Amino acid sequence: MRFPENSRPRAEVLAQLKGLKSGDADWKKGRVPLYVFKATTEAAEVGQEAFNEYFTENALGGKRAFSSLKRMEDEVAAMALDLFHAPEGAVGNMTTGGSESILMAVKAARDFARKQRCDKAHRGNLVLPASAHPAFNKAALLMDLEVRRVPVTKEFLADPAAMAAACDRDTIMIVGSAPCFPYGAIDPIRALGAVAGSKNLWLHVDACVGGYVAPFVRDEGYPIPDFDFAVPEVSSLSADLHKFGFAPKPASTVFYRDAEKRAGQTFSIDEWPNGRFVTETLTGTRAGGAVAAAWALMQTLGRSGYRKIARELMTMRDAYIDGISAIPGFRVFGKPHLTLLGFGAADLDMGRVAEGMAKRGWVPGMLKDPPGLHLMMSLLHADARSDYLRDLAASAAEVRTSTGKAKIEAVY
């Protein structure tokens, strides 16, 4: 591809653009197990309209040019802090995604530890359950921190005792997930809080997946353990609006128990010709539309709207679990709290089952340990359930009656 010499008709280019999608996976029919999320058609329309209203504005200019964006971002953070049982003085802001939210929390924890130790060069380490998101490794790689991943329990949960044993005087953060991505289970945050309290450590809760749905699932009567600032030892929390907050991408949030803990997140420089430059995010430019859409969805849905969606999600989730468990040999790993499932059959080559699903038009979510398949479901997957279960059973039966070795690799 070379840079085009001449212009082309708009209609021709847009037609080609639409044509390029013809080879993509059919996410609208629930055949993609991650990446895309949907609540209701109305919610999607609200998010798109609000995003387009601020299509051009830059959230970087919220303090100087676009005061409406600054107000909406502040109000999104305030509404979320209310949702997450934050104490007086807690602070937070929007970012462009879960990886950025996690990176900013790790940086804040590192700088907080350096200040407490009066050592600007302290390296430090992070202690995580093996199920924690790779974004922590990415953050550690960027900041030259050590990562210690600790095996999970037989129930696929973080092991507080093992994590405590992995900590030493250089540990700057321990992590729990709400829920973890591989198994959909919320780690025992209160027990991790006890570890953090006894060792005077920073506890970060990665609620990027579940933050904006778990509170409403609990409201519907499902057993959701405490995972947010209701646990006194939680120092920071990340939660993605563009997952189960159902906002358009890119939109996430990160929060801190107090402003002192967030101080290390702030970037400030006054060493260039234009004067002081300050951001609370790694990125500079941010889509104003993402801020406006998140705000509009919170206002449109409210607690009652999110509760209704949560009820429908969990009804769908339970039906998937029943259907998967009815296929000979299959079991769901652990006890998932939300709509993320890991599952498999010990007597089958699950890589070959995944190949069978791919052959039948699905994008197979996969697990490496234990070998299995993976689903992160929104309401896109409700109508796809019978087809998915039918094809899963057919793929499993096919593997049982044939030989060979899987060529597919478990990739997120």
Distance CA 240, CA 338 (A): 15
248-307 pLDDT, tens digit per residue, is 999 999 999 999 999 999 999 999 999 999 999 999 999 999 999 999 999 999 999 999
Phi/psi for 199 (5° steps) reads -110, 5
47 close to 82: Cβ distance less than 8 angstroms:
no
In 10 A of CB 404, how many CB atoms?
9
Cβ neighbors of 396 (< 8 A, separation 6 or more) are 327, 328, 329, 330, 345, 348, 353, 356
pTM: 0.95
Q: What is the pLDDT of residue 412?
A: 62
Q: What is the pLDDT of residue 409?
A: 73
- What pLDDT does residue 227 have? 98
Mean pLDDT in residue range 341-368 = 96
Distance from C-alpha of 151 to C-alpha of 188, rounded to nearest angstrom: 14
Between CA 223 and CA 297 the distance in angstroms is 26
C-alpha 182/C-alpha 151 separation (Å) is: 13
Domains and CATH numbers, the chain: 25-39+302-400 (3.90.1150.10), 46-299 (3.40.640.10)
Distance CA 148, CA 107 (A): 17
Q: Using one digit for the tens of pLDDT, what is the confidence trace for 304-326?
A: 999 999 999 999 999 999 999 99
pLDDT at 369: 94
Mean pLDDT, rounded, for 128-140: 98
C-alpha–C-alpha distance, residues 93 and 38, integer Å = 23
CA distance readout (Å), 342 to 35, 356, 366, 412: 16, 17, 8, 13
pLDDT at position 408 is 75
